[in-house]
Chains A and B, each alone.
Chain A
Amino acid sequence: MRNVIIARYGEIHLKGNNRHYFEKVLLDNIKQHLSFTDIQVEKISGRYLISNYDISKENSILSKLQKVFGLTSISPAIELKTSKDAIDSYIKSIQLTGTFKIDTTRADKTFPIPSNEYSPYLGGLILANNPTSKVDLHNPNTIINIDIRENSYTYISYNKLQGAGGMPVSTSGKGLLLLSGGIDSPVAGYLMAKRGLTINAIYFHSYPYTSEQAKKKVIDLAKTLTDYTGKIRLFVVPFTKIQEEINALCIPEYLITIMRRFMFKIAEKVAINNDCSCLITGENLAQVASQTVQGITTSNSVLDIVPTFRPLISFDKVEIMRISQKINTFDISNLPYEDCCTVFVPKRPVIKPTVEKAKHEESKIVNAQELIEWAINNIEIIDL
C-alpha cells in the first residue's frame, strides 16, 4: 500500500491517431511542473499516476498539478494490490462522519464482484465502523472512489480536485503575448496557454518615462504566469526613441493609435524571428478609448502574416479581474508603476481612427524603419 496521486485528462480523449502525441506532451509538462521534487510519473490507462514522492510535499504537488493545462481532475489516492481482502481491510480502517457514497469502477473484469454489488457491500463496512455516518447517493459529503484497474492495482481516493482543463501547453504551437503591466494581458496569456500555446512575451519599455520598477512588475507578472504556462521567454523592447518621435511628429489624437501600430509591427517581426505563429493581446472591445472596432482595425492592419488572438475581446472587466485574482497576477498588476501606454496620453485620443489617417501621420516619421530595426536589435531577452 502506498500514497499516489491520480491525474486525469479531458479533451485529449477526443483525439484520434495523434492522441499519443498529446499524452506524451502532457506527461512532459507534468514532469516539468513537478521538477521541484523527486517523483515518478507514469501513464496508466487514460490517466497519470504520480508516485514515489515525499509525502510532506503532497499538498505542493497537488497545487502544482492543478495548474497543468490538459488535466481535468486530480486525486490523492491509496494504491493497493488488487484483492477483495486488501480493499475490504482498507475500507474498514476508514473513519468518517457525515454522509458518504461509494463509487466503484471495475476496469479489471477479472475482479469477481461487479461494481454495482461491491459498492453497497463496502458501504455496509463503513456504516458498521462509523455509526454516525450515513449513505447519501445524491449529495454526499464524501465520495469514496474505488478504481480497480487492469494493472492489478486498486486506487482508493476521497476527493477530486479540479484541474486547469484545456490542452497541454505547446501542443498548439507558440504565441507572442503583448504584455503590459495591466490586468488584462496576463489573463489573455493564461487563456491562450490554456488552449495549448507556449507563451513568449514582449514588453515595450520606455525608460526613463517608465521606471525600472515598471519593468520589474512585468517580469514578475510573466514569472507568475509560468506557474501555468511553463517557461516564458520575455522580450524587452527599448521603446523610448519611438515614443519620443511619435510624440514629436504626430498629431496628439493619434499618439496612442500610432504607438500601438509600432508595437504590432515590432511584435510581428519578433514573433516571426522566434517561431511564434500568432500574437496575443489583452484587447477588449469598448473598455477604453482605443479599443473600438476602428481602433483595433487600425492597429491590426499593420500585420502582414501572423494572426492576433484576443481572448478577452468579449469579457467584462469584472470577469477579467476574477481570472486575474485566480491566477495571482491581480495584485502585481495593481502596483502603481506606469507602463508605456500612460506616458504620453493625449487629452482627446481619437475614438474612430482610420488606417489612411494613421498611415499619413506615420509617414511623418521618416526614419521609422530604422527606429524599428534599432529597437529590435537592442531587445533584452529574459528567460523565466
Chain B
Amino acid sequence: MIYFDNASTTKLDNRLNEVIYKYNNLDYFNPSAPYIKSVYISQDIQTARNNILNALNADSNKIITFTSCATEANNTVLLGQLNKRYKKVLISDGEHKSVYNTINFIKNMGFIVETVKLNANGIVDFEDFKIKMTPDVGLVSFIHVSNETGAINPIKELCNHAKSINPNVIFHSDGVQAFGKIKVNVTDLGVDFYTVSAHKIHGPKGIAALYSKQPIKPFIIGGGQQNDNRSGTENVSGIMALGEIVKYFDIDKNYDYVSKLKEKFITFFNEKENVKINSNSNNSPYIVSISFSGVNGETLVHMLEEKDICISTGSACSSKKANNIALASMGLPTLLIKGNIRISFDTSNTEEEVEILCTELYNAYFNLYNKTNRRQ
C-alpha cells in the first residue's frame, strides 16, 4: 500500500509504543488521585506540557490544555472564549470544518460571524481582512497551514493587524497541519490560542493540545482537572506520547526531504494539459492540491484505491454541487473544484512511490476523462 493521505492521519511512530504501554499498563493511575504514584503521573504530564511548550517556542509560563482532539480544542476557543463586549467574530473561508461549521452555533449565541476571503494563493486576503477587522471584532481564527492546499497564512502579520485595531481581540490559529512540519514560534506569532494534534505527526489519535497565553474559560465542566481548564480524566498515555513525539521533531531535515517529493510530483504534472496545481512554492510541502478538469475527483480517488494507493478528495463533491469553500474562495471554477484531489506527503514516502503515484494518477485521469467525456 502506498499512502499519500498523511494530512488526514499518520501512522503511529513505533518509538511511542513503549510510552503508551507504560502509561496504560504500568503507570495507569489517575493523575488526580491522592497517592504518591498519581503525583508522579501528574509530574510526568507537566514534563509533557513543557516539551510541547518548548516545541512551540513558547514561554514556560504559558498554558497547554490537553483535549480529546483538535476539533475539541478549536470548539473550545470558538464557542467557549467569546467575549460579549465585542459582537463580531472573524474566520476565513479556508478554515477546517471544526472552525467553519461553528458559524451557525456562534450566530445563535447572538454574535455576528464574518468570513474573510482567500486570495488566489489560498491565504487570507489581507485587503478583505482590513475591511472586516473592525474594533468590534472580539475573536479571530485563521488556520496556520491550510489542510486543503498547504497555503501558509502570515499569522504574525494578521495577528499584529488584528491587535492594532482591537488590542483586546482574541487571536486563535489552528496549527494542526503546521506543528511538527514547519517552524512554529507562537511567541513570535503573537497568537492567544494555538491548536495542535498528535495523530497528524505520528502520534496516537484521541489527543490534541491547545496552547494559550492565559487560563481558558472552561468549555468542558466537571472535576476540575488541568487546573479547571478542561475537566475529565486526562488521557495520560496520549499526553505522554504527544510529549514524547515532539522530541523527535527534525523540522528542517524533514522539510527538505518532503519538498523534494513535492517538487517531483509538481514537475510531473506542471506541463500537463487540463491539470491545475492549486499550491505554490510558498506553501507547505506536505500538502498539494491538484485539480483535473472534466472528471470527478472522488472517482480518481477510488481508481487509485484499486491500485492500492491512498489519496484524498479535497472536498466532498456531488455531481450537483462542488462544495469546497476554500477552493471556491480562491476563485477556482466549479469544474476544477469537482476534479480536485489532495496529495499529502510524509517522510516515510519515497521518491519511487511518488513516481508510481504520478504514473497511476495520470493514467487514471486519462482513462476516466476518455470514458466520461467522449460525448459531452
A344 adjacent to chain B (CB < 8 Å): yes
22 contacting pairs across A/B (C-beta < 8 A): A207-B302, A208-B299, A208-B303, A208-B305, A208-B306, A209-B299, A211-B298, A211-B302, A244-B371, A247-B374, A248-B371, A248-B374, A251-B375, A252-B375, A336-B318, A338-B318, A342-B318, A342-B319, A343-B319, A345-B319, A346-B376, A347-B376
Please measure, in the bound complex, the distance between the C-alpha atom of A173 and the C-alpha atom of B95, giving whole angstroms: 54
Q: Quick check: is B316 within 8 A (CB to CB) of the other chain?
A: yes
Which residues from chain A contact B374 at a C-beta distance below 8 Å?
A: 247-248
Are B320 and A208 within 8 A (Cβ)?
no
Instruction: Choose from B296, B303, B306, B316 the contact partner of A336 (Cβ within 8 Å).
Output: B316
Q: Specify which chain B residues have a CB less than 8 angstroms from the CB of A338 in the assembled complex.
A: 298, 318-319
- CB of B372 within 8 Å of the partner chain: yes
A-facing mask of B297-322, CB < 8 A → 1, else 0? 01101110110000000001011100
Shortest CB–CB separation between residue B196 and chain A, in angstroms? 30
Q: Other than the known A208-B299, A248-B375, what 5 A-B pairs have Cβ atoms closer than 8 Å?
A: A208-B301, A247-B372, A247-B375, A336-B316, A343-B319
- What is the 8 Å Cβ interface bit string for chain A, positions 237-266, against chain B (1 contact, 0 not)? 000000010011001100000000000000
A244 / chain B contacts, CB cutoff of 8 Å: 371
Contacts A208-B299, A209-B299, A211-B298 given; indicate if A342 touches B372 (C-beta within 8 A): no
* Closest 9 A/B residue pairs (Cβ): A208-B302, A342-B319, A208-B303, A252-B375, A209-B299, A208-B299, A244-B371, A336-B318, A248-B374
Separation in Å of the A290 CB from the closest CB of chain B?
Answer: 15
**Total contacts A-B at CB 8 Å:** 37
When C-beta atoms are compared, the residue in chain B nearest to A212 turns out to be B302
User: When chains A and B are docked, how far (Å) is the Cα of A344 from the Cα of B374?
Assistant: 11
Q: Which residues of chain B come closer than 8 Å to A342, judged between CB atoms?
A: 318-320
Please report the C-alpha to C-alpha distance between residue A208 and residue B320 in the assembled complex, in whole angstroms.
18
Chain B contact patch, size range:
10 to 19
B interface list, Cβ under 8 A from A: 296, 298-299, 301-303, 305-306, 316, 318-320, 371-372, 374-376
Q: Residue on B with the closest CB to A243?
A: B371
Chain B residue at minimal CB-CB distance from A250: B375
Instruction: Write the A334-360 contact mask toward B (1 if CB under 8 angstroms, else 0).
Output: 001010001111110000000000000
Of B305, B318, B320, B376, the most chain A CB neighbours within 10 A belong to B376
The docked-state distance in angstroms from the alpha carbon of A75 to that of B307 is: 57
**Quick one: which of B299, B320, B376 contacts A252, CB cutoff 8 A?**
B376
Tell me the smallest distance from the CB of A137 to a CB of chain B, in Å: 47
CA A212 to CA B302, docked complex, whole Å: 9
Residues of B within 8 A of A345 (CB): 319
| Cβ < 8 Å to B, chain A residues 309-347 | 336, 338, 342-347
Size of the A side of the interface (Cβ < 8 Å), in residues, is 18
Q: When the two chains form their complex, are residues A247 and B371 in contact, meaning their CB atoms are under 8 A apart?
A: yes
Give the CA-CA distance A223 to B318 in the complex, in Å.
Answer: 24
Shortest CB-to-CB span from A256 to chain B, Å, is 13
Q: How far is the CA of A62 from the CA of B319 in the complex (A)?
A: 42
Cβ contacts under 8 Å, A209 to chain B:
296, 299, 302
Name the CB-closest residue of A to B319: A342
> Please, how many angstroms separate the alpha-carbon atoms of A345 and B374 in the complex?
13
- What residues of A have a CB within 8 angstroms of the CB of B306 in the complex? 208
Contacts of B319 in A (CB 8 A): 338, 342-343, 345
CA distance A43 to B48 in the complex (A): 68
B303 / chain A contacts, CB cutoff of 8 Å: 208
Q: How far is it, in angstroms, between the C-alpha of A30 and the C-alpha of B132 when the chains are bound? A: 63
- Bound Cα distance A9, B243 (Å): 65
Rounded to whole Å, the gap between the CB of A318 and the closest CB of chain B is: 20
Q: Which residues of A contact B375 (CB under 8 A)?
A: 247-248, 251-252
Residues of A189-246 contacting chain B, CB below 8 A: 207-209, 211-212, 244
Query: Cβ of A211: which chain B residues have Cβ within 8 Å of it?
Result: 298, 302
B149 to chain A, nearest CB (A): 22
**Bound: A237/B117 CA distance, A:** 45
| Shortest beta-carbon distance from B370 to chain A in Å | 9
- Assess whether B372 is in contact with A344, with CB atoms less than 8 Å apart: yes
Residues of chain A lying within 8 A (CB to CB) of residue B372: 247, 344
Residues of B within 8 A of A344 (CB): 372
Q: How far is the CB of B259 from chain A (nearest CB, A)?
A: 31
Q: How far is the CB of B173 from chain A (nearest CB, A)?
A: 29
Q: Determine the chain B residues whose CB is within 8 A of the CB of A248 once the complex forms.
A: 371, 374-375
- A240's closest neighbor in chain B, by CB? B371
A203 to B316, CA, bound (A): 22
B157 smallest CB distance to A (angstroms): 37
Across the interface, name the chain B residue whose C-beta is closest to A248. B374
Which residues of B sit under 8 angstroms from A212, Cβ to Cβ? Answer: 302
A209 CA to B305 CA, complexed, in Å: 12
A338 to B303, CA, bound (A): 16
CA distance A212 to B299 in the complex (A): 11
Closest Cβ–Cβ distance, residue B345 to chain A (whole Å): 23
Docked pose: A196 CA to B266 CA in angstroms: 60
Name the B residues within 8 Å of A336 (CB-CB).
Answer: 316, 318
Q: In whole Å, how far is B201's beta carbon from the nearest beta carbon of chain A?
A: 28
Provide the residues of chain B in CB contact with A247, threshold 8 Å. 371-372, 374-375
CA A336 – CA B318 in complex, angstroms? Answer: 7
- In the bound complex, residues from chain A placing their C-beta under 8 Å from that of B371 are 244, 247-248
Residue among B298, B306, B318 with most chain A CB within 10 A: B298
Closest to A208 in B: B302
Residue of A nearest to B303 (CB): A208
Binary flags per residue of A77-103, CB closer than 8 Å to B gives 1, else 0: 000000000000000000000000000
Q: Complex formed: what's the CA distance from A117 to B298 in Å?
A: 73
A207 CA / B306 CA spacing, docked (Å): 10
Question: Contacts of A207 on B, CB cut-off 8 Å?
Answer: 302
B305 neighbours in A (Cβ, 8 Å): 208
How far is it, in angstroms, between the C-alpha of A212 and the C-alpha of B316 when the chains are bound? 14
Cα distance, A252 to B375, chains bound together (Å): 7
A212 to B371: give the CA distance in the assembly, Å.
Answer: 20
Closest residue of A by beta carbon distance from B305: A208
The smallest C-beta distance from B107 to any residue of chain A, in angstroms, reads 23
In whole Å, how far is B318's beta carbon from the nearest beta carbon of chain A? 5
Interface residues of A in 21-47 (CB under 8 A from B): none
Minimal beta-carbon separation of A57 from chain B (angstroms): 33
Interface string of A273-309 (1 = CB under 8 A from B): 0000000000000000000000000000000000000
Complex CA gap A247/B299 in Å reads 16
Kindly provide the distance from the CB of A364 to the nearest chain B CB, expressed in whole angstroms: 12
Nearest-neighbour CB distance to chain B for A346, whole angstroms, equals 7
Report the bound CA distance from A2 to B371 in whole Å.
68
A208 to B307, CA, bound (A): 12
Which residues of B are found within 8 Å of A343, using beta-carbon distances?
Answer: 319
